[in-house]
Chains A and B, each alone.
Chain A
Protein backbone atom coordinates (compact mmCIF):
# COMPACT_ATOMS: atom_id res chain seq x y z
CA UNK A 1 0.00 0.00 0.00
CA UNK A 2 3.04 2.23 -0.02
CA UNK A 3 3.05 3.38 3.59
CA UNK A 4 6.21 5.04 4.87
CA UNK A 5 7.87 3.79 8.03
CA UNK A 6 6.63 6.67 10.18
CA UNK A 7 3.07 5.97 9.05
CA UNK A 8 3.46 2.31 9.86
CA UNK A 9 4.55 3.10 13.40
CA UNK A 10 1.57 5.41 13.90
CA UNK A 11 -0.76 2.65 12.73
CA UNK A 12 1.00 0.15 14.96
CA UNK A 13 0.62 2.46 17.96
CA UNK A 14 -3.03 3.01 17.12
CA UNK A 15 -3.40 -0.73 16.74
CA UNK A 16 -1.95 -1.39 20.18
CA UNK A 17 -4.23 1.22 21.76
CA UNK A 18 -7.27 -0.31 20.04
CA UNK A 19 -6.18 -3.78 21.01
CA UNK A 20 -6.00 -2.83 24.69
CA UNK A 21 -9.47 -1.29 24.42
CA UNK A 22 -10.76 -4.37 22.68
CA UNK A 23 -9.38 -6.67 25.39
CA UNK A 24 -11.16 -4.77 28.10
CA UNK A 25 -14.57 -5.26 26.47
CA UNK A 26 -16.88 -7.81 28.00
CA UNK A 27 -18.02 -10.76 25.88
CA UNK A 28 -20.67 -9.39 23.65
CA UNK A 29 -24.25 -9.63 22.65
CA UNK A 30 -25.63 -7.49 19.84
CA UNK A 31 -25.96 -4.37 21.92
CA UNK A 32 -22.29 -3.64 22.60
CA UNK A 33 -22.43 -0.34 20.76
CA UNK A 34 -21.24 2.52 22.99
CA UNK A 35 -20.16 4.50 19.90
CA UNK A 36 -23.60 4.33 18.29
CA UNK A 37 -23.93 8.12 17.81
CA UNK A 38 -20.61 8.39 15.96
CA UNK A 39 -21.20 5.09 14.16
CA UNK A 40 -24.53 6.33 12.81
CA UNK A 41 -22.84 9.45 11.41
CA UNK A 42 -20.18 7.29 9.75
CA UNK A 43 -22.95 5.08 8.40
CA UNK A 44 -24.60 8.08 6.72
CA UNK A 45 -21.23 9.04 5.21
CA UNK A 46 -20.72 5.48 3.92
CA UNK A 47 -24.21 5.42 2.41
CA UNK A 48 -23.53 8.77 0.76
CA UNK A 49 -20.28 7.47 -0.75
CA UNK A 50 -21.95 4.27 -1.89
CA UNK A 51 -25.05 5.81 -3.45
CA UNK A 52 -23.14 8.64 -5.18
CA UNK A 53 -19.92 6.94 -6.22
CA UNK A 54 -19.46 3.21 -5.65
CA UNK A 55 -22.89 1.95 -6.68
CA UNK A 56 -23.25 4.02 -9.92
CA UNK A 57 -19.61 3.37 -10.86
CA UNK A 58 -20.08 -0.37 -10.35
CA UNK A 59 -23.05 -0.33 -12.72
CA UNK A 60 -21.01 1.50 -15.37
CA UNK A 61 -17.98 -0.71 -14.74
CA UNK A 62 -19.91 -3.93 -15.26
CA UNK A 63 -21.64 -2.53 -18.36
CA UNK A 64 -18.41 -1.32 -20.00
CA UNK A 65 -15.84 -3.91 -18.95
CA UNK A 66 -16.26 -7.41 -20.43
CA UNK A 67 -16.81 -10.13 -17.80
CA UNK A 68 -13.55 -12.03 -18.52
CA UNK A 69 -11.55 -8.84 -17.93
CA UNK A 70 -13.48 -8.13 -14.72
CA UNK A 71 -12.66 -11.65 -13.52
CA UNK A 72 -9.00 -11.26 -14.47
CA UNK A 73 -8.66 -8.03 -12.50
CA UNK A 74 -10.35 -9.59 -9.46
CA UNK A 75 -8.16 -12.69 -9.78
CA UNK A 76 -4.99 -10.61 -10.04
CA UNK A 77 -5.89 -8.60 -6.94
CA UNK A 78 -7.00 -11.68 -5.01
CA UNK A 79 -3.84 -13.58 -5.88
CA UNK A 80 -1.60 -10.86 -4.46
CA UNK A 81 -3.55 -10.94 -1.20
CA UNK A 82 -2.81 -14.66 -0.74
CA UNK A 83 0.67 -14.31 0.88
CA UNK A 84 -0.96 -12.20 3.63
CA UNK A 85 -3.49 -14.98 4.15
CA UNK A 86 -0.68 -17.53 4.39
CA UNK A 87 0.95 -15.41 7.14
CA UNK A 88 -2.33 -15.39 9.07
CA UNK A 89 -2.83 -19.14 8.56
CA UNK A 90 0.62 -19.67 10.09
CA UNK A 91 -0.09 -17.29 12.99
CA UNK A 92 -3.19 -19.40 13.65
CA UNK A 93 -1.05 -22.57 13.54
CA UNK A 94 -3.25 -23.80 10.68
CA UNK A 95 -0.53 -25.29 8.50
CA UNK A 96 -2.96 -27.18 6.30
CA UNK A 97 -4.70 -23.95 5.26
CA UNK A 98 -1.32 -22.24 4.89
CA UNK A 99 -0.17 -24.99 2.54
CA UNK A 100 -3.37 -24.76 0.53
CA UNK A 101 -3.16 -20.98 0.11
CA UNK A 102 0.56 -21.15 -0.69
CA UNK A 103 0.01 -23.87 -3.32
CA UNK A 104 -2.81 -21.83 -4.76
CA UNK A 105 -0.54 -18.78 -4.94
CA UNK A 106 2.24 -20.74 -6.66
CA UNK A 107 -0.12 -22.37 -9.20
CA UNK A 108 -1.96 -19.15 -10.07
CA UNK A 109 1.19 -17.00 -10.19
CA UNK A 110 2.86 -19.39 -12.65
CA UNK A 111 0.35 -21.38 -14.74
CA UNK A 112 -2.28 -18.69 -14.05
CA UNK A 113 -0.02 -16.04 -15.64
CA UNK A 114 0.75 -13.80 -12.62
CA UNK A 115 -2.66 -14.51 -11.15
CA UNK A 116 -4.89 -13.23 -13.93
CA UNK A 117 -6.33 -16.73 -14.39
CA UNK A 118 -7.48 -19.09 -11.67
CA UNK A 119 -6.49 -22.66 -12.63
CA UNK A 120 -6.10 -23.53 -8.92
CA UNK A 121 -9.88 -23.45 -8.46
CA UNK A 122 -10.28 -26.07 -11.15
CA UNK A 123 -8.08 -28.52 -9.26
CA UNK A 124 -9.86 -27.87 -5.96
CA UNK A 125 -7.25 -25.51 -4.47
CA UNK A 126 -9.81 -23.04 -3.17
CA UNK A 127 -8.92 -19.93 -1.23
CA UNK A 128 -8.89 -20.43 2.50
CA UNK A 129 -10.10 -17.09 3.77
CA UNK A 130 -8.19 -15.62 6.70
CA UNK A 131 -7.30 -12.24 8.16
CA UNK A 132 -5.70 -10.83 11.27
CA UNK A 133 -9.09 -10.23 12.92
CA UNK A 134 -9.61 -13.99 12.67
CA UNK A 135 -6.11 -14.58 14.04
CA UNK A 136 -6.92 -12.37 17.06
CA UNK A 137 -10.13 -14.37 17.55
CA UNK A 138 -8.14 -17.63 17.52
CA UNK A 139 -5.77 -16.12 20.07
CA UNK A 140 -8.73 -15.52 22.35
CA UNK A 141 -9.53 -11.84 21.86
CA UNK A 142 -13.16 -10.75 22.08
CA UNK A 143 -14.86 -8.66 19.42
CA UNK A 144 -15.03 -5.54 21.51
CA UNK A 145 -17.46 -2.77 20.68
CA UNK A 146 -19.13 -2.47 17.30
CA UNK A 147 -17.55 0.14 15.05
CA UNK A 148 -18.51 1.34 11.60
CA UNK A 149 -15.31 2.34 9.79
CA UNK A 150 -15.33 5.15 7.22
CA UNK A 151 -15.33 3.58 3.71
CA UNK A 152 -14.60 0.06 5.01
CA UNK A 153 -17.99 -0.25 6.68
CA UNK A 154 -19.19 -2.51 9.48
CA UNK A 155 -16.56 -3.85 11.86
CA UNK A 156 -15.72 -4.25 15.52
CA UNK A 157 -12.65 -3.21 17.50
CA UNK A 158 -10.90 -6.53 17.06
CA UNK A 159 -11.51 -6.73 13.31
CA UNK A 160 -10.73 -3.03 12.87
CA UNK A 161 -7.32 -3.64 14.44
CA UNK A 162 -7.02 -6.71 12.24
CA UNK A 163 -7.66 -4.65 9.13
CA UNK A 164 -4.93 -2.11 9.99
CA UNK A 165 -2.42 -4.82 10.80
CA UNK A 166 -3.25 -6.73 7.61
CA UNK A 167 -2.82 -3.60 5.50
CA UNK A 168 0.31 -2.25 7.13
CA UNK A 169 2.35 -5.12 8.54
CA UNK A 170 1.18 -8.51 7.36
CA UNK A 171 1.11 -8.05 3.60
CA UNK A 172 4.26 -9.60 2.11
CA UNK A 173 3.24 -8.47 -1.39
CA UNK A 174 3.54 -4.80 -0.41
CA UNK A 175 7.14 -5.34 0.77
CA UNK A 176 8.19 -7.01 -2.46
CA UNK A 177 6.24 -5.30 -5.24
CA UNK A 178 7.60 -2.20 -7.00
CA UNK A 179 6.14 0.31 -9.43
CA UNK A 180 4.37 -0.06 -11.79
CA UNK A 181 3.01 -3.33 -10.34
CA UNK A 182 1.83 -1.60 -7.15
CA UNK A 183 -0.30 0.72 -9.29
CA UNK A 184 -1.69 -2.23 -11.30
CA UNK A 185 -2.52 -3.86 -8.00
CA UNK A 186 -4.41 -0.80 -6.73
CA UNK A 187 -6.37 -0.53 -9.99
CA UNK A 188 -7.23 -4.23 -9.90
CA UNK A 189 -8.28 -3.84 -6.25
CA UNK A 190 -10.75 -1.10 -7.21
CA UNK A 191 -12.02 -3.34 -10.04
CA UNK A 192 -12.53 -6.23 -7.62
CA UNK A 193 -14.47 -3.95 -5.27
CA UNK A 194 -16.73 -2.70 -8.07
CA UNK A 195 -17.35 -6.24 -9.32
CA UNK A 196 -18.28 -7.39 -5.82
CA UNK A 197 -20.61 -4.38 -5.39
CA UNK A 198 -22.35 -5.44 -8.60
CA UNK A 199 -22.56 -9.17 -7.79
CA UNK A 200 -24.01 -8.60 -4.31
CA UNK A 201 -25.96 -5.55 -5.47
CA UNK A 202 -29.45 -6.77 -4.58
CA UNK A 203 -28.50 -7.84 -1.07
CA UNK A 204 -26.53 -4.64 -0.40
CA UNK A 205 -29.33 -2.44 -1.74
CA UNK A 206 -31.92 -4.29 0.35
CA UNK A 207 -29.96 -3.65 3.55
CA UNK A 208 -28.80 -0.09 2.85
CA UNK A 209 -31.76 1.41 1.02
CA UNK A 210 -34.83 -0.74 1.66
CA UNK A 211 -34.72 -1.39 5.39
CA UNK A 212 -36.34 0.88 7.95
CA UNK A 213 -33.13 1.24 10.00
CA UNK A 214 -30.22 0.43 7.70
CA UNK A 215 -27.65 1.10 10.41
CA UNK A 216 -29.15 -1.43 12.83
CA UNK A 217 -29.80 -4.00 10.09
CA UNK A 218 -26.28 -3.70 8.68
CA UNK A 219 -24.77 -4.07 12.15
CA UNK A 220 -26.90 -7.11 12.94
CA UNK A 221 -26.02 -8.84 9.68
CA UNK A 222 -22.31 -8.05 9.95
CA UNK A 223 -21.98 -9.36 13.50
CA UNK A 224 -23.88 -12.57 12.78
CA UNK A 225 -22.07 -13.26 9.49
CA UNK A 226 -18.69 -12.66 11.07
CA UNK A 227 -19.44 -14.95 14.02
CA UNK A 228 -20.71 -17.61 11.61
CA UNK A 229 -17.55 -17.27 9.52
CA UNK A 230 -15.32 -17.55 12.60
CA UNK A 231 -17.43 -20.41 14.03
CA UNK A 232 -17.75 -18.25 17.14
CA UNK A 233 -20.57 -20.32 18.63
CA UNK A 234 -20.28 -18.79 22.09
CA UNK A 235 -21.56 -15.50 20.67
CA UNK A 236 -24.23 -16.98 18.44
CA UNK A 237 -27.45 -14.99 18.27
CA UNK A 238 -30.19 -17.01 19.86
CA UNK A 239 -33.70 -15.71 20.25
CA UNK A 240 -36.26 -17.84 22.04
CA UNK A 241 -39.58 -16.17 21.22
CA UNK A 242 -41.44 -18.63 23.47
CA UNK A 243 -39.87 -17.29 26.64
CA UNK A 244 -40.60 -13.62 26.03
Chain B
Protein backbone atom coordinates (compact mmCIF):
# COMPACT_ATOMS: atom_id res chain seq x y z
CA UNK B 1 0.00 0.00 0.00
CA UNK B 2 2.75 2.32 1.01
CA UNK B 3 4.63 1.58 -2.20
CA UNK B 4 1.60 2.35 -4.25
CA UNK B 5 1.10 5.65 -2.51
CA UNK B 6 4.75 6.65 -2.97
CA UNK B 7 4.59 5.74 -6.57
CA UNK B 8 1.60 7.94 -7.09
CA UNK B 9 3.22 10.84 -5.29
CA UNK B 10 6.34 10.36 -7.37
CA UNK B 11 4.23 10.30 -10.51
CA UNK B 12 2.37 13.46 -9.59
CA UNK B 13 5.50 15.39 -8.64
CA UNK B 14 7.14 14.16 -11.82
CA UNK B 15 4.19 15.39 -13.82
CA UNK B 16 4.35 18.80 -12.15
CA UNK B 17 8.10 18.98 -12.75
CA UNK B 18 7.58 18.16 -16.42
CA UNK B 19 4.87 20.76 -16.77
CA UNK B 20 6.88 23.45 -15.04
CA UNK B 21 10.49 22.82 -16.02
CA UNK B 22 10.20 20.71 -19.16
CA UNK B 23 8.48 23.10 -21.53
CA UNK B 24 10.45 26.09 -20.21
CA UNK B 25 13.75 24.36 -20.98
CA UNK B 26 12.47 23.12 -24.32
CA UNK B 27 11.47 26.62 -25.35
CA UNK B 28 14.89 28.03 -24.41
CA UNK B 29 16.70 25.32 -26.30
CA UNK B 30 14.41 25.76 -29.29
CA UNK B 31 14.88 29.52 -29.13
CA UNK B 32 18.67 29.15 -28.90
CA UNK B 33 18.70 27.01 -32.05
CA UNK B 34 16.30 29.37 -33.78
CA UNK B 35 18.53 32.34 -32.94
CA UNK B 36 21.57 30.68 -34.52
CA UNK B 37 19.56 29.47 -37.54
CA UNK B 38 18.34 32.95 -38.22
CA UNK B 39 21.83 34.42 -37.58
CA UNK B 40 23.37 32.03 -40.11
CA UNK B 41 20.62 32.95 -42.56
CA UNK B 42 21.37 36.66 -42.25
CA UNK B 43 25.12 36.10 -42.64
CA UNK B 44 24.60 34.03 -45.81
CA UNK B 45 22.32 36.74 -47.17
CA UNK B 46 24.96 39.35 -46.33
CA UNK B 47 27.70 37.42 -48.14
CA UNK B 48 25.53 37.08 -51.24
CA UNK B 49 24.37 40.67 -51.39
CA UNK B 50 26.99 43.16 -50.17
CA UNK B 51 29.42 44.65 -52.66
CA UNK B 52 31.87 46.92 -50.85
CA UNK B 53 33.89 46.46 -47.68
CA UNK B 54 32.18 49.40 -45.95
CA UNK B 55 28.80 47.88 -46.76
CA UNK B 56 29.98 44.52 -45.42
CA UNK B 57 31.16 46.06 -42.15
CA UNK B 58 28.00 48.08 -41.55
CA UNK B 59 25.72 45.14 -42.39
CA UNK B 60 27.70 42.87 -40.10
CA UNK B 61 27.56 45.41 -37.26
CA UNK B 62 23.78 45.55 -37.58
CA UNK B 63 23.63 41.71 -37.43
CA UNK B 64 25.96 41.57 -34.42
CA UNK B 65 23.90 44.14 -32.51
CA UNK B 66 20.77 42.14 -33.24
CA UNK B 67 22.10 38.67 -32.30
CA UNK B 68 24.94 39.16 -29.81
CA UNK B 69 24.77 40.42 -26.24
CA UNK B 70 27.19 43.26 -26.89
CA UNK B 71 26.63 44.75 -23.42
CA UNK B 72 28.05 41.72 -21.68
CA UNK B 73 30.71 40.95 -24.33
CA UNK B 74 32.18 44.45 -24.38
CA UNK B 75 32.06 44.67 -20.59
CA UNK B 76 33.81 41.30 -20.24
CA UNK B 77 36.69 42.31 -22.52
CA UNK B 78 37.54 45.13 -20.08
CA UNK B 79 38.18 42.57 -17.33
CA UNK B 80 38.24 43.76 -13.70
CA UNK B 81 38.52 47.41 -14.88
CA UNK B 82 34.84 47.26 -15.90
CA UNK B 83 33.81 47.24 -12.23
CA UNK B 84 35.18 50.73 -11.61
CA UNK B 85 34.01 52.14 -14.96
CA UNK B 86 31.17 54.66 -15.19
CA UNK B 87 27.99 54.00 -17.17
CA UNK B 88 28.95 56.52 -19.84
CA UNK B 89 32.46 55.04 -20.21
CA UNK B 90 30.93 51.60 -20.71
CA UNK B 91 28.45 52.99 -23.26
CA UNK B 92 31.11 54.82 -25.27
CA UNK B 93 33.36 51.76 -25.21
CA UNK B 94 30.54 49.44 -26.27
CA UNK B 95 29.83 51.56 -29.37
CA UNK B 96 33.51 51.70 -30.33
CA UNK B 97 33.97 47.99 -29.62
CA UNK B 98 30.98 47.08 -31.81
CA UNK B 99 32.48 48.88 -34.80
CA UNK B 100 35.95 47.43 -34.13
CA UNK B 101 34.43 43.95 -33.80
CA UNK B 102 32.46 44.33 -37.05
CA UNK B 103 35.52 45.53 -39.01
CA UNK B 104 37.73 42.79 -37.62
CA UNK B 105 35.44 39.79 -38.06
CA UNK B 106 33.38 40.68 -41.13
CA UNK B 107 36.51 40.25 -43.27
CA UNK B 108 36.95 36.71 -41.96
CA UNK B 109 33.53 35.73 -43.30
CA UNK B 110 34.65 36.58 -46.82
CA UNK B 111 36.88 33.47 -46.74
CA UNK B 112 33.78 31.34 -46.27
CA UNK B 113 31.60 33.04 -48.84
CA UNK B 114 29.97 30.36 -50.97
CA UNK B 115 30.45 27.59 -48.40
CA UNK B 116 27.54 25.98 -46.65
CA UNK B 117 26.93 26.02 -42.89
CA UNK B 118 25.02 23.16 -41.29
CA UNK B 119 23.64 23.00 -37.75
CA UNK B 120 24.75 20.12 -35.55
CA UNK B 121 23.69 19.11 -32.06
CA UNK B 122 22.92 21.59 -29.32
CA UNK B 123 24.15 20.94 -25.79
CA UNK B 124 22.57 22.11 -22.57
CA UNK B 125 25.57 23.46 -20.65
CA UNK B 126 23.59 24.46 -17.55
CA UNK B 127 23.69 28.23 -17.72
CA UNK B 128 23.69 28.40 -21.49
CA UNK B 129 23.13 26.40 -24.65
CA UNK B 130 25.97 25.58 -26.99
CA UNK B 131 24.62 25.40 -30.53
CA UNK B 132 27.03 23.45 -32.73
CA UNK B 133 27.51 24.22 -36.41
CA UNK B 134 29.93 23.19 -39.11
CA UNK B 135 31.22 25.11 -42.11
CA UNK B 136 31.55 22.73 -45.03
CA UNK B 137 34.72 23.74 -46.83
CA UNK B 138 35.47 20.90 -49.22
CA UNK B 139 34.16 17.61 -47.87
CA UNK B 140 37.32 16.42 -46.17
CA UNK B 141 37.90 19.34 -43.81
CA UNK B 142 35.03 21.01 -42.02
CA UNK B 143 35.34 23.87 -39.58
CA UNK B 144 33.51 23.57 -36.27
CA UNK B 145 31.80 26.72 -35.02
CA UNK B 146 29.87 26.68 -31.76
CA UNK B 147 27.61 29.49 -30.60
CA UNK B 148 27.12 29.97 -26.85
CA UNK B 149 23.64 31.32 -26.30
CA UNK B 150 22.11 32.62 -23.09
CA UNK B 151 18.91 34.50 -22.29
CA UNK B 152 20.24 36.04 -19.11
CA UNK B 153 20.03 39.48 -20.75
CA UNK B 154 16.27 38.98 -21.00
CA UNK B 155 16.22 37.51 -24.48
CA UNK B 156 18.30 34.83 -26.25
CA UNK B 157 21.60 36.25 -27.51
CA UNK B 158 24.99 34.69 -28.19
CA UNK B 159 27.86 35.78 -25.94
CA UNK B 160 30.73 33.72 -27.37
CA UNK B 161 31.68 31.96 -30.60
CA UNK B 162 34.03 28.97 -30.44
CA UNK B 163 35.88 28.47 -33.72
CA UNK B 164 37.75 25.15 -33.83
CA UNK B 165 38.03 25.22 -30.05
CA UNK B 166 39.14 28.85 -29.88
CA UNK B 167 36.96 31.21 -27.89
CA UNK B 168 36.45 34.56 -29.55
CA UNK B 169 35.59 36.12 -26.20
CA UNK B 170 38.82 34.81 -24.66
CA UNK B 171 40.84 36.23 -27.59
CA UNK B 172 39.18 39.63 -27.33
CA UNK B 173 39.70 39.72 -23.56
CA UNK B 174 43.44 39.25 -24.14
CA UNK B 175 43.49 41.77 -26.98
CA UNK B 176 41.44 44.49 -25.28
CA UNK B 177 43.26 43.81 -22.00
CA UNK B 178 46.61 44.55 -23.69
CA UNK B 179 45.22 47.66 -25.42
CA UNK B 180 43.77 48.87 -22.11
CA UNK B 181 47.24 48.54 -20.56
CA UNK B 182 48.65 50.57 -23.45
CA UNK B 183 46.04 53.26 -22.68
CA UNK B 184 47.05 53.26 -18.97
CA UNK B 185 43.60 51.97 -18.00
CA UNK B 186 41.84 54.98 -19.58
CA UNK B 187 38.64 53.59 -21.16
CA UNK B 188 37.96 56.85 -23.03
CA UNK B 189 41.39 56.71 -24.67
CA UNK B 190 40.96 52.98 -25.37
CA UNK B 191 37.62 53.67 -27.09
CA UNK B 192 39.32 56.28 -29.27
CA UNK B 193 42.27 53.98 -30.06
CA UNK B 194 40.22 50.98 -31.16
CA UNK B 195 38.38 53.15 -33.70
CA UNK B 196 41.54 52.87 -35.79
CA UNK B 197 41.96 49.12 -35.36
CA UNK B 198 40.33 45.98 -36.69
* CB pair A242 B182 closer than 8 Å: no
With an 8 A cutoff between CB atoms, is B73 at the interface?
yes
With an 8 A cutoff between CB atoms, is A95 at the interface?
no
User: Contacts A216-B174, A216-B178 given: A239-B166 contact, CB under 8 Å?
Assistant: no
Partner of A228, one of B73, B75, B159, B164: B164
With an 8 A cutoff between CB atoms, is A111 at the interface?
no
| Minimum-distance CB pairs A-B, first 5 | A228-B165, A241-B76, A212-B178, A213-B178, A241-B72
Q: Which residues of B153-181 are within 8 A (CB) of A?
A: 159-160, 164-167, 169-171, 173-175, 177-179
With an 8 A cutoff between CB atoms, is B54 at the interface?
no
Measured CB to CB, the closest approach of chain B to A158, in angstroms, equals 17
* Residues of B close to A243: CB separation below 8 A: 127
With an 8 A cutoff between CB atoms, is A45 at the interface?
no
User: Contacts A213-B175, A216-B178, A220-B174 given: A241-B166 contact, CB under 8 Å?
Assistant: no
* Residues of A close to B182: CB separation below 8 A: 212
With an 8 A cutoff between CB atoms, is B2 at the interface?
no
Chain A residue with the shortest CB-CB distance to B174: A216
With an 8 A cutoff between CB atoms, is B34 at the interface?
no
Q: Which residues of A41-81 are within 8 A (CB) of B?
A: none
Q: Which residues of B135-153 are within 8 A (CB) of A?
A: 140, 150, 152
Interface range for B: 20 to 34
Interface range for A: 20 to 34
Of the A-B pairs whose beta carbons lie under 8 Å apart in the complex, a sample of 8, sorted by A's number, is A213-B177, A241-B73, A241-B75, A241-B160, A242-B72, A242-B150, A242-B152, A244-B75
Chain A residue with the shortest CB-CB distance to B79: A244
* Residues of A close to B167: CB separation below 8 A: 224, 237, 239
Measured CB to CB, the closest approach of chain A to B125, in angstroms, equals 8
With an 8 A cutoff between CB atoms, is A217 at the interface?
yes
A sample of 16 more A-B contacts (CB under 8 A), given A237-B167, A240-B128, A241-B75, is: A126-B140, A212-B178, A216-B174, A217-B175, A221-B171, A224-B166, A225-B164, A225-B166, A239-B76, A239-B170, A241-B76, A241-B159, A241-B160, A242-B72, A243-B127, A244-B82
* Residues of B close to A217: CB separation below 8 A: 171, 174-175
Measured CB to CB, the closest approach of chain A to B85, in angstroms, equals 13
Chain A residue with the shortest CB-CB distance to B198: A210
With an 8 A cutoff between CB atoms, is A229 at the interface?
yes
* CB pair A224 B178 closer than 8 Å: no
Most buried by A among B76, B165, B170, B178: B165
* CB pair B175 A239 closer than 8 Å: no
What is the 8 Å Cβ interface bit string for chain B, positions 170-198, against chain A (1 contact, 0 not)?
11011101110010000000000000000
Q: Which residues of A200-238 are within 8 A (CB) of B?
A: 211-213, 216-217, 220-221, 224-225, 227-229, 236-237
* CB pair B75 A121 closer than 8 Å: no
